[in-house]
Structure formats: C-alpha cells, structure tokens
Amino acid sequence: MPAPVDVSAVIKQSFPQLVERASADHPAFSAPAGDVPAVLAFLRDSHGYDLLTDLTAIDNGEDATPRFTVVYHVFSTTAHTYLRLTADCSDDRKPSIASVTSLWPGADWHEREVFDMFGITFDGHPDMRRILMWEGYPYHPLRKEFPLAGIETPLPDIEVSEETGTKVLPAPMAGGPFVTSSGEINMAKAEPRAKDESWNEKKEKPL
C-alpha cells in the first residue's frame, strides 16, 4: 500500500502519544521508547514503509537528560518517502530499548553497531555482541566523553598482550594542536594559543 500524502495526520490519529520532531527534511516523530516496535510495525504493514534504511543513535551530551536518542529512518519502496522516528532511552546509565529485529532482520547489524558505539542494549536482540570493535573492548567510542585520540587498552589478543605487554595506544596526535577534545566543537577555541598548548623555546612539546 502506498504511503498516504499526509502521513503525519494518520500517525497522530493512531498514536496520539507521538510528538512531532523538528526536522529539516522528512517528517519526523518522537515516540516513547516502549512504543517503537508497534509504531514501526504499523508504518511497515499499513503504510508501505517497508525498508528500514538506517538505525542509529545520538548522544545528546554527558549531562543531558535524556542522554541517548535512538533514530530510525524508514523508506517506502513504493511511495518513495522517508520517515524519521526517534525515541529517547529512559535510563541514562544503562540505556536500553526494544529491538526491531523481529520486524526487519536487517536491523540486526545496525543494533549491534549502536550497542558497540553507544552502549545501548536492545531488548530481544538475538545476538547482542560488538560488531566493529573487538569482543572485550571496554569502551563505547561514540559517546561524547570518549576522546578522539582513543584510550590505551590491552590488545584484542589477550595471550599476545600478556606475553609482550603491548597495548593499543592513543593516536599520537592526542594533546597536539588543532585536536579538539570531546564537546569542544569550536575550532577557534581548540587552536593552540587558545588552549595554551603552543610549543616554543620556553615551553617544550610534552613527551
């Protein structure tokens, strides 16, 4: 079934708890975390949004509440329209949300990636493992408190790291000029003079 022209009205009628979300392009709605599978199933089965094209999350900042927002983009292969659905995770410490793998098997890897990068667990996911980082990696790199350069961690291969003592080191650029730390997004403020990280005869480059 093709998506109706005014999908907003239809959705609001069926799910009055949904709030419209500011968006620069496609229709966007914010749903309570618990309703996500129901809303997406409704969109897929009754309005032709059959392709889950993207599933990701946003970290709204270390001090923000709610901290994590999960974002779904669905696409209708018949009407060729996108729709964005977002849901805030209720618990900022141990964020979790219901999995949609039962609706789209393709959500499997997306949810694993969000878990890997943000530490959001998806309830009902068949195989909640990391996907890009290795098993046993202790951090969630896309969280805002994680530094750009990385953090020293043991090598993925525990046997090798125990024997040789080698570790995964942060990028050598850490602390150098023009490298912003997380949350500091103004380039002018990250400039060496502003951070007073300029190196000269009097102040040597830290080793």
- The residue ranges that bind another protein (CB under 8 A) are 21-26, 28, 50-54, 56, 58-59, 71, 73, 75, 77, 80, 82, 84, 104-106, 108-109, 113, 117, 130-134, 141-142, 146, 148, 179-180, 182, 185-188, 191
Closer residue to another protein, CB minimum distance, 24 or 207: 24
| Shortest distance in whole angstroms from residue 53 CB to another protein | 6
Question: Whose Cβ is closer to another protein: residue 120's or residue 165's?
Answer: 120
Question: For residue 92, what are the contacts with CB-CB under 8 A and spacing of at least 6?
Answer: 65, 66, 67, 68
Strands 96-98 and 121-123: parallel
**Least Cβ distance, residue 202 to another protein (angstroms):** 26
Query: Would you say 38 or 171 has its CB closer to another protein?
Result: 171
Taking the complex as a whole, the smallest distance from the CB of residue 160 to another protein amounts, in Å, to: 16
Element (H, E) at 93: none
**Per the structure block, which two tokens stand in for 203?**
């102040």
Which residue(s) pair with 96 in the sheet? 121
Nearer to another protein, 165 or 188 (CB): 188
Cα separation, 148 vs 158, in Å, equals: 24
Report helix, strand or coil for 150.
Answer: coil
Shortest distance, CB of residue 21 to another protein, whole angstroms?
A: 8
Q: How far is the CB of 204 from another protein (least distance, A)?
A: 26
> How far apart, in whole angstroms, are the C-alpha atoms of residue 109 and residue 130?
9
Q: Which is nearer to another protein, 165 or 169 (CB)?
A: 169
Which residues are registered as beta bridge partners of 74?
Answer: 52, 83
Structure tokens at 179: 């490298």
Q: Which is nearer to another protein, 105 or 124 (CB)?
A: 105
C-alpha 124/C-alpha 200 separation (Å) is 56
Element (H, E) at 57: strand 51-59
Nearest distance from C-beta of residue 31 to another protein, angstroms: 15
